[in-house]
Every structure is written in C-alpha cells, then in structure tokens.
Chains A and B, each alone.
Chain A
Amino acid sequence: MKAVTAFSVKIDVEDAVADLKSQLSTCEPVMVLFFASPAYQPDRIAAAMADAFPAAVTFGCTTAGEIVTGRMLAQSVVALALDSSSVRSVRVEVIQNLDAPSYDAFAAFERHFNTPMADMDPARYVGLLLVDGLCRKEELIVDRIGDLTNVNFIGGSAGDDLRFSATHVYANGTSHAHAAVVALLEPVVPFSFLKTQSFTPLPPRLTVTRANEAEREVVEFNHKPAVVAYAEALGVAVDEAAAHFLSNPVGLVFEDEPYVRSPQRIKDGSMVFYCAIKEGMELSLLQSTDIIADTRMALAAARAEYGEISAIINFNCILRTLELRQKGLTEQYGNIFAGVPSIGFSTYGEQFIGHLNQTATMLLLY
C-alpha cells in the first residue's frame, strides 16, 4: 500500500496547501484526509485542498493541535494521502444540522457501495467520523450509526485550539459548522482499531441514580449528590474533588476495558461531564497511569497481532495532549509513531463504539 503524510506550518492557506501538495506528489491519492489548525480560514482551506487534489476525495476538520509522523504540532496542517493500492473505494458525506440530523448519508453509502448498511461486512469496510466538537451531540450520532450498521466508525470531535467558539468539518471543498462528516472506506489492506486510555479501574463503584442526560449532568451517584459520592469514593474532601478530575475520571468497564467519562465541572452538587451518562449506569472510579508507556504497549500489541503497521489515523483527546504538554512529553509521544506514516489531531472527544473522553482512538492500516 502507499500512504504518504505531509505537514505545513506556512501561515498563508495557499502556501500551506501548495507545500502539502508538493510533499504528497509521490502519491496519486484517491483520498486526502487533513487536519488543520483553526488559524487557517476554514472555507479557504477546504476549497484549496479540493482544488489541489481534484482526483481525490478530500475531507478533514479543525483541531486543537496536530499529529504527523513522529511529531506533535500546533498551528499547522497535516495530511494523509492514500492511493488505490490502499483504498479501493471511498465516499464522503455530510450530516448537517446536528440538532435535527438526517441520516441520508447512509443511503448514499448504500448506493455507492451497492450494499445495504445493515449487510455491510465490518471486516471489509471502515467508517471515519469527524464531528463538530462543540455540538454536544456525539453520543446521539454514534448511537444512531451503531444502530444502522455493524461497520465500525472511528473518529474524533473537531477542535479549535481551546477557544471553544467554533469548530469546522470539511468535505470535498466545503467547510461546515454544526455538522459531521462521515466517510465510508473500503480498504484494500487489512485494518484494525486501537482504543487506548491510560487509566486503571479502582474498586469504588458509582451508580448513576439521577441524571440530566441532555445536559451531560449527573445529579446523584449512589443516591447522594454526585460530587459528595465522588469525593467519598476518592477519600477526599468535597472541595478537593475538582482537583482530581483529570487523574480520576470515571468509566464504564466492560471486559476489563474502561470507556472513560471525564468530569468537566461541578454545578451545585452535580457533576457535568464531557459526555452523557445514563441513569442506572454503574461506573468505576479510575486512576491515571502512564500515557507514553500505555500507548507504546497498545501499538506493540497491535503489531504482534496483525503485523507491521503501514499507516495510522490518530484521534487523541485534548486532555491527553494537555497532560503531555504539561509534563514535557509531546516529543516522546510523537516518537512512538516515528517511522509509520501517521496523522491525527487533538480532539474534543473521541469516537469508537461510543463517544469517549481522555482516550486515543486509532485506525491502523497494515
């Protein structure tokens, strides 16, 4: 297979895209996936990428930091080009207006691949999902996609460099706000998924006894005000609870694998999370571990199971990136992917089976 990555830190959109085009000139891509700092004007970069690669499907989104083969970047644009020896066919669609989304995109996939979504083989097809990172609708979208098909969709929520004002997704020359881009690929090569989070479950259990799901708010755990129960589980005073949010989120644990739900803030006695949590869910308190060691181990396990990796698309939570930046570990994290064509970005949420927090979800091509 042929996978080529490129990045540019040129400030002007046209210069940056020309830079990418030059670096990707060894590839005749059928698709170009790109992740761009919001410093690049969204409409212009979407159009310029489509113009630069007229024979390819182009899609992507804004970021809160970019990742490219061996490096973590900021204020840049990164791109991955895949040719026909990597991807047999690809179709990109936009889900507009996430307040009342239509899933016509999936009818378009069915027409393009001439197969009902419900019958598509998840070993043959893979989906990519890029969502407006400020929409707070990711769980609904992922849940709906999961109902429609067994094909796995993996992805991330677009960022905007922690401004929290507007994120954008790109598809075939156009930028969209309050929208999601879905792409369905039929790779030529084998592929797998990697979900890694650096947390280990602790014994305390927190059962959601009252929640405001639409607001991603847990009102009560174990029939107590959420923050009181959380602090008790941690063994700390209530006024110290928020200081533990990053290192002690909570998670749904299934087959020893945590699906992390990260607290954002305290609202009266409630806890507001970065994803919705349903009443009745039993959550485990989590303890943070080592992102570098855990990511390295997860990639090694994938290599041991499937063989040498030819390309990686990495959706890495902004909270992980902030921790890496704070600890001066961004170079070490980038080095984990050195030698493998890879792109990614720091996300406002990660998607794989569900909507996740403080996780990296990756598509690995072999």
Chain B
Amino acid sequence: MAGQVKRMIDSIIEQRAKGNKVLEGVVKMKLILKGIDPKNFDSASPDDLTVIGKLHDLMNEMK
C-alpha cells in the first residue's frame, strides 16, 4: 500500500488550519520538527507504520 502518509498529512493540515494559510505553514513546521517533512511524502510513498502511528496520535489530539 502507498500514499496513506500523504493523505494523513493533508488531512491534519486541513483539520488544523481550516484553510488559513499562515496556520498551514505553522502546522507544516510542527510536522517537520517532529521529523515528518510533508514535502518528502506523495501519493506513491510507502505506508510507513511508524509515521502513520505518529500522525494518527496527532489526529486524535484535535478531535
């Protein structure tokens, strides 16, 4: 399987920034500081379970 990391990153950015461009940048930088650089993932990126776990935790925080 591939592309789940990219989908989760997009979802987190959308969920947290709600279209605010400044917030989108902040959320991307927070992810980079966690070691997850959005630019390194696309729809063909393998589904890395460690990264998916981190992103899943982050998605739950904002529910």
Asked whether, in the complex, the Cβ of B26 is within 8 Å of the Cβ of A353, the reply is yes
Asked whether, in the complex, the Cβ of B33 is within 8 Å of the Cβ of A255, the reply is no
Which residue of chain B is the closest to A282 with respect to CB atoms?
B37
B interface, over-half SS: helix
Asked whether, in the complex, the Cβ of B61 is within 8 Å of the Cβ of A147, the reply is yes
- A280–B62 Cα distance when bound, in Å, is 26
Within 8 A of A (CB), among B5-57: 16, 23, 25-26, 28-30, 32-35, 37, 57
Query: Within 8 Å CB of B2, what residues of A?
Result: none
- A278 within 8 Å of B by Cβ? yes
Q: List 22 A-B contacts (CB under 8 A).
A: A118-B61, A118-B62, A122-B23, A139-B33, A143-B30, A143-B33, A147-B57, A147-B58, A150-B23, A152-B26, A252-B32, A254-B28, A254-B29, A279-B35, A280-B35, A281-B35, A282-B37, A353-B26, A353-B30, A353-B33, A354-B30, A354-B33
Within 8 A of B (CB), among A94-124: 118, 122
Cβ 8 A contact of B33, one of A118, A148, A150, A252: A252
What total of chain A residues lie within 8 Å of the partner, measured CB to CB? 20
Q: Residues 119-140 of chain A: 1 if any B CB is under 8 Å from the residue's CB, otherwise 0? A: 0001000000000000000010
Asked whether, in the complex, the Cβ of A259 is within 8 Å of the Cβ of B29, the reply is yes
Q: A122-B23, A148-B61 are in contact. Are A353 and B29 (CB under 8 A)?
A: yes
What total of chain B residues lie within 8 Å of the partner, measured CB to CB? 16
Given contact pairs A118-B62, A278-B33, A353-B33, a sample of 8 additional A-B residue pairs in the complex whose CB atoms are under 8 Å apart: A147-B30, A147-B57, A147-B58, A148-B61, A150-B26, A252-B33, A255-B25, A281-B35
A interface, over-half SS: mixed
Q: A122-B23, A255-B25 are in contact. Are A150 and B35 (CB under 8 A)?
A: no
- A334 within 8 Å of B by Cβ? no
- A146–B37 Cα distance when bound, in Å, is 16
Query: Within 8 Å CB of A278, what residues of B?
Result: 33-35
What is B's interface to A at a CB cutoff of 8 Å? 16, 23, 25-26, 28-30, 32-35, 37, 57-58, 61-62
6 A-B pairs closest in CB distance: A278-B35, A354-B33, A147-B61, A146-B30, A353-B29, A118-B62
CB distance from B5 to the nearest CB of A (A): 13
Q: Which of B25, B35, B57, B58 has the most chain A CB atoms inside 10 A of its CB?
A: B35
- A354–B62 Cα distance when bound, in Å, is 19
CB distance from B63 to the nearest CB of A (A): 8
Query: Within 8 Å CB of A150, what residues of B?
Result: 16, 23, 26
Which residue of chain B is the closest to A116 with respect to CB atoms?
B62
- A353–B30 Cα distance when bound, in Å, is 6
Within 8 A of B (CB), among A257-272: 259
Which residue of chain B is the closest to A152 with respect to CB atoms?
B26
Asked whether, in the complex, the Cβ of A143 is within 8 Å of the Cβ of B34, the reply is yes
- A118–B18 Cα distance when bound, in Å, is 13
Asked whether, in the complex, the Cβ of A254 is within 8 Å of the Cβ of B32, the reply is yes
- A281–B16 Cα distance when bound, in Å, is 23
- A143–B23 Cα distance when bound, in Å, is 16
- A150–B25 Cα distance when bound, in Å, is 12
Query: Within 8 Å CB of B29, what residues of A?
Result: 254, 259, 353-354
CB distance from B12 to the nearest CB of A (A): 11
CB distance from B30 to the nearest CB of A (A): 5
Which residue of chain A is the closest to B35 with respect to CB atoms?
A278
Query: Within 8 Å CB of A252, what residues of B?
Result: 32-33
- A150–B61 Cα distance when bound, in Å, is 11
